Structure 1
């Protein structure tokens, strides 16, 4: 019962509101404390920098004349008047950075005081800036006393500001270092946090009261709406939820539920259209080979071995051409070009397996290879028309290479349960692709392998010329004969 009660919308609203308010309080406290801390630290830092610059200018003559006693008196007075100053040193550059004046007095004559980490001392002494003082936030390595009073505890955070003491010729005489305690800053931050917590506590109580009232007003209509949704989910698409308040979100939700019920009926009719659109991504011929039972039976790993004719087509110098075009220009160009080539393939009885950038991989599931050769010739004809339209617009023409091979392939699906894709793999696919890639070396538009020639049902219709009777393609051990296909059929020649 307790679990069921916690799952009620009233309890969830109360819990969510409480967590939200607590989150807001935490954010307010964090931002408040951080902003106040930054403000106080910046104020301390600015005061320290100004003090350091003024004192370094004041002590220029004394340090130049080695009037260290006067500097020590002034530093002692500074420590008495400013309780936030934990320590102050003046080191002489000419004496290898020996501390010639300082307060507390115990650090006088030292070179590297053990009051702060060594890296802070190095930064103060060896860094140089004639424009502004150098500041760093650090901590004390030991307790620091001024007279009989404790000025800083070990581990206490301080801001050290270092300023160069310059002579008349802007030559560095020494370094003034002042350590300012952040104790008052921490106290101010704690006060800011306490104020923020008080404001948050008041807001939490007000929020809980409002959340309880809101949860009570929302729980009843939501429960009734839940029952209506369950009835629709059970198949009663004619049911409509009662609308009590049209102006609020619950009423809007009830209206949406009713619209959903009507939309479900429309969705069933759209589902059939979606299945038809699926064929545009995966050709029906492909599906019929690997899944004769239907699209809904397709799974990862389904495959079928088949002897097919593979055609590869690729635009020459596409990379250099695309570099001179914007992405949208490339997109529009590819759509126009692929539509032109796809029409030729479709009219010749083939189907496109995939687009690989500008490349096209087409398959012909016929016993003879005549359709693939006709498609290649028709693609060249359509490309001429495509180039003519481009030349009318003052756009350079394009050329393509086409490679055709026939052999055994494996058609199937790859991927995993959430994302599958159709593919065709096999050595024959690689050969067709490499035939296309060497068309530019043989200066041929269309190259076909000897396996394509042997499978022609009407070889007399095509103009074929032996290009190389024994060529080894990249990655292949066996040599094959390749032929050039003229871009016109013999019976079409005048």
Structure 2
């Protein structure tokens, strides 16, 4: 009977064979869809539990931890408010109200988490570890009844000591509050960690179910494909399968999947085409590997540009660019006392921390020179109208991360009390520069050179003279005026420059100056105007008023010393108020 069926199958017309293949595949697809729908429905129920119970419960615990820390911070502020200004009862009462609100928020979040966990425990259809949920609920209950109660009692004692202004009692109670708070936070952290582990475990179960759905669907699909191949071999004589493999491989490459090789099963034109396709994929893999590898040494955008348009990179262009130089101040002496391993760790941390703002603001890191960083902005990587803003914001963010960077050094080198002198000097300049690949025939560097790059380097060094941290050229300051606050520092002719240029200090983001900084800027400007008019006494008084606001203001100190020198040796009659810096 099977022989008769085979004869009849081979005697069918191509049309009927194709229709038979189509019907068989349709039946298999319907079965696959039905089975997938059933399994997807179960997976969806699991996802619903994760999103409506597990994740919100973990979020409640995380917020409870945050509110607990905020409560501790508020308590510290109350201690400071009472010890610094014991008469300011209004501020103390306001902080006390905030303290109570934070405490209530902690308990509210924990109760919300317990309500969600309790719902999971009561729902017998839950797929999670019910015993683990019960343990977590029990620990939260203990946390509310015991640990929190002890902490609240100690806080009440501390508040009474604060109201009585008993310094000794305040100190003793504060220590006990810290101990109880640490215990509560540790308990809460442990519960949150257990909840996260449970969430991850249950998520893994859901993912496994989803993977099972995919495996079953893939198995049925492969079976359908195998059946189609068997019949298609009768129709296409082995052409359809290799062509389909090529089509699937092309789609995989289009989706970015370059790790698969198509087997060559024939020696005809289809086989040659398959081998050529594999060679093409190998070249694409090599190109991706080059991008991934050299992206750690050269900015990936530069690497891509050099690969996609090597002629343009080799020719170079003159463009308006913004260049930033960042260097470490006061680190040489400290580095001489450090081991090579410690020095490498600190420099790596420094480069990682200070490179992040450049990349976050779309800058290109050109190179690391010793402990200096050179970066630039401009076409084709940034719009002309954005480059100065991005560079100025990057400089401010670099300075804002300095304190946190300093704090990390003792832990990095394993010496808690090691004195490390570490500060930043940043120079930013905007102007025409040559952009392209520069070097020998054997080694090239895609970089920015010219007066603009030199000016940025000189501005970085000029910070040492003016006691500042971020100096920018006039073009940079004007271009970034809508995003940063600046003050004019001087009219300077740098080393190698014939014409003086105004330089500015970048002080803060737009609208973020404190009232003291605004007053400092106004007094400094008065002094600068009087200085250029040769009114030495008036200039000195203005700079002294600036120093009264900021005693360590470097530019004001610099000008006072300079006024003393000018009084001793007055400038020529044609003096234009500029100053020449010979130091590079």
Q: Same fold (TM over 0.5)?
A: no
TM-score, scaled relative to structure 1: 0.42
Higher strand share: 1
TM-score, scaled relative to structure 2: 0.36
Q: Which one has the largest radius of gyration? A: 1
Higher helix share: 2
